[in-house]
Amino acid sequence: DLSIEETAEYCGLDVLATFQLTEILQQKLNDTPSLKPVFELELKLEPILAKMETVGVIIDKNYLAKLSQEINEELQQIESKAYQEVGNFNLASPKQLSELLFNKLGLDKRKSTKTKTGYSTNQAVLEKMQGDHPIIDYILNHRTLAKLKSTYVDSLPILANPKTNRVHTNYNQMVTATGRLSSSNPNLQNIPIRTAFSRQIRKAFIPQKDWLFLSADYSQIELRILAHLSAEPILISAYQNQQDIHTVTAQLLLGKEDISLEERNLGKTINFGVIYGMGAQKFARQTGVSVADAQNFITIYREKYPHIFNYLETMKKEALTKGYVTTILGRRRYFYFDNDRALQNLKGKDINEIDLDSLKLTNYTAQMLRAAANAPIQGSCADIIKMAMIEVDRILADYQANLLLQVHDELVFELPSEEVEELSIKIKETMENIISLEIPLIVDIHTGKNWMEAK
């Protein structure tokens, strides 16, 4: 709504401020030379992201219109079943949900927190209550589908360029604390894939006519980075010998060789969960075991993988003593504990002098320390895929193929069919050899006529 003159002045001052900051920031960078490789990486990545944003990705509007109708019908069915279970209520009203769950049905209020309108019925609370009453699953399913419909199925066609049917997301290079890219307007990195309908949204993303999609996805990269950083012998040996790490973990937890798919899932849940500091209650909810059994599994895991927990504890101590933790490339994530007086005297201390168990931590500080333990893992993953994007971009200069999307550990390309065979090999080799680690990096390549087929 502003005039060209006003807009020009604003933009000019924006550039001037940036220019005046350059000298100051350059000096700060010179004072911390370990950060220069990260800075150079981000500079090289910037034009690649600009190219991806400009090209965009085609969406099939007709397909999304049909999917919207299907989700509508499914939502109506869920509502009908919910009403049969407990009577009529508004599934979208937090106040009515609170009244229903905690007053009418008398469910456990200790699993929630008090709010101005009653007790909270947010996602985390409902997940804690799963299994307490059949209505919980109906509410969660309804919420998931309604969000999918509004956020993606109905919104993507509006955001697409009417002439090209391409959606042009914005990649945010310096927004996340871990160094990962984020995506906005629309967010194409957050499309869930756990349910049938969420997976079907990916079917709406298609390449240009007569071309194909190619997806290159790092396999279990966070666990592989954890194995490298922690130097955990069992993990390193399993990956070097191409064993299934989830089966290996299940065998250690259960003390037997033959592992069923359900038992392997126990290993998978705890392997990924430990990176994020998962506790016994969440492990129990996700796997269906009792809280006591979940705690026992975590105890056994600690005994079998001591190097992992030593590493995670060390990262927490580094956050307390240095104020930051670092990735493989040297990227830093800073942590501030100024509000916790008990931690003020830890800055600069030898980490060997710190006993984490003896510290009285607030919930916020405990949460920040879990983030500190995880940051080098996520941040190293971010560094690695950014390095891979730069090298892959050099390869693409000799081909027609376009890099369209980066979704955390996955790169998505569109390319003519005659380039698939050659580029599959080159992309895989480049991504797998982008960095030398104690364990091999593995990239899974898939192709298809849409994103769902190529995943």
Tell me how far CA of residue 9 lies from CA of 6, 269, 309, in angstroms.
5, 54, 54
* Confidence band of 385 (pLDDT split at 50, 70, 90): very high
Separation CA 269–CA 254 (nearest Å): 14
* pLDDT tens-place string over residues 42-76: 999 999 999 999 999 999 999 999 999 999 999 99
- Residue 239: its pLDDT value, please? 96
Q: What is the DSSP string of 84-146?
A: HHH----TT-HHHHHIIIIIIS---GGGS-EETTEE---HHHHHHTTTS-HHHHHHHHHHHHH
Separation CA 223–CA 275 (nearest Å): 8
Q: Is the pLDDT of residue 345 over 80?
A: no
Which has the higher per-residue pLDDT, 62 or 287?
62
Which of 95-104, 106-115, 149-158 is the most confident on average?
Answer: 149-158
* Confidence band of 244 (pLDDT split at 50, 70, 90): very high
Separation CA 53–CA 171 (nearest Å): 7
- Residue 181: its pLDDT value, please? 96
Give every CB contact of residue 140 below 8 A, 6+ residues apart in sequence.
Answer: 123, 126, 127, 130
Other CB atoms within 10 Å distance of the CB of residue 24: 9
Q: Is the pLDDT of residue 341 over 80?
A: no
Distance of CA 180 to the CA centre of its chain: 9
- Residue 337: its pLDDT value, please? 82
- Residue 199: its pLDDT value, please? 87
- Residue 213: its pLDDT value, please? 98
Average pLDDT for 13-25: 96
Query: Which tokens is 82 given?
Result: 């919910």
Helices (H), 193-304: 196-201, 221-230, 233-240, 245-254, 261-275, 280-287, 291-304
pTM above 0.85, yes or no: yes
Distance of CA 11 to the CA centre of its chain: 34
Which has the higher per-residue pLDDT, 339 or 437?
437
Separation CA 171–CA 299 (nearest Å): 41
- Residue 429: its pLDDT value, please? 98
- Residue 52: its pLDDT value, please? 98
Other CB atoms within 10 Å distance of the CB of residue 375: 24
Separation CA 182–CA 171 (nearest Å): 6
Q: Is the pLDDT of residue 285 over 90?
A: no
Residues forming beta bridges with residue 435, ordered by sequence position: none
Query: Which tokens is 56 given?
Result: 């965009």
Burial 108-127 (b: 16+ CB within 10 A, else e): eeebbeeeeebbbbeeebbe
Separation CA 57–CA 76 (nearest Å): 32
Tell me how far CA of residue 98 lies from CA of 24, 83, 155, 170, 263, in angstroms.
53, 16, 29, 37, 36
Average pLDDT for 171-195: 90
Separation CA 51–CA 42 (nearest Å): 15
Q: Is the pLDDT of residue 131 over 90?
A: no
Alpha-carbon torsion (312, 314, 318, 320), positive or negative: positive
Alpha-carbon torsion (25, 28, 30, 32), positive or negative: negative
Q: What is the DSSP string of 34-63?
A: GGHHHHHHHHHHHHHHHHHHHH-EEE-HHH
- Residue 343: its pLDDT value, please? 78
Mean pLDDT of the chain, nearest integer: 93
* Confidence band of 231 (pLDDT split at 50, 70, 90): very high
* pLDDT tens-place string over residues 192-218: 777 788 889 999 999 999 999 999 999
Q: What's the helix, strand, coil split of the chain in %, to 5?
A: 60, 10, 30
- Residue 350: its pLDDT value, please? 87
Helix (H, G, I), strand (E, B), or coil: what is residue 166?
strand
- Residue 277: its pLDDT value, please? 84
Q: Is the pLDDT of residue 352 over 90?
A: no
* Confidence band of 20 (pLDDT split at 50, 70, 90): very high
Q: Is the pLDDT of residue 417 over 90?
A: yes
Helix (H, G, I), strand (E, B), or coil: what is residue 269?
helix
Separation CA 246–CA 269 (nearest Å): 8
Average pLDDT for 76-84: 93
- Whether omega for the bond prior to residue 186 falls within 30 degrees of 0, making it cis, is yes
Strands 332-334 and 170-172: what pairing? unpaired
User: Percent of the chain at pLDDT above 90?
Assistant: 76
